[in-house]
Amino acid sequence: MSGTTSGAVARAAAPALLFDLDGTLIDSVYQHVIAWRNALAEAGIDLAVWRIHRRIGMSGGLFVNALVRETGRKLTAEQVEAIQRAHAEEYLKQRASVVPLPGAVELLRTLTGRGIPWAIATSGQRRTAGHALELLGLPEDTLMVTRDQVRFAKPDPDLFLAAADRLGADPRQTMVVGDSVWDLLAARRAGALGVGLLSGGYGRDELERTGAYRVYTDPADLLDRLDELGVRSGDDAGYDAGDDPV
């Protein structure tokens, strides 16, 4: 006879959500692409825009090394750092054109209203990522882990592990929401479930192959389907208490 009694089933805690930033919450991927193209051109490196886009989401150092490898060029550490600085300057010139993605502000407000813990984890430096808090209507003390706060950025899991730690959450009980294959690879390495968004330019098949168990168009689409992630509204929060539907 089973030792489990009716009504004694433990309820799992609500999942914590860890969000990438560029292409996930703010519409900034192509500004970054142009900024990288200009920074590389200053260093005498001419690369097609599509090649640059495929690396967006990686840490800056890995990004530059991967791209210059395709050209056969060799760069010193100082040159790599100079290109990264130039990218930041070029991006900041364009930040006035960056806006929140559809539904991003409402999604974060909804999660906060329902008591769902969440954080932002981005491969960007605080210098370039910090302005996003104002765009999203968030206070300065919002939990956001940036590249300069961890040893390695995506595709390493450090950003998501650090964000989970600061939330006091087990990484295995979190869901990572990102728009690139680098986000989802880092999520898998952190032990988190991956949720993909198409708003950064990657295709559904690419995101699913890298580990996304759900893929949505943008934050607005995700907000409409939060129940698929186990994030319940006030109306249905008590449904699974043990009673069958009638």
Annotated catalytic residues are 20, 22
CA nearest neighbour of 19 among 50, 57, 63: 57
Inter-CA distances, 192 with 157, 187, 225, Å: 10, 5, 19
Residue 117 sits at φ, ψ, to 5 deg, of -70, 140
Can you say how many angstroms the Cα of residue 211 is from the centroid of all Cα atoms in its chain? 14
User: What secondary structure does DSSP assign to 47-81, as a single string?
Assistant: --HHHHHTTBTB-HHHHHHHHHHHHT----HHHHH
Tokens read off for 132: 């996003």
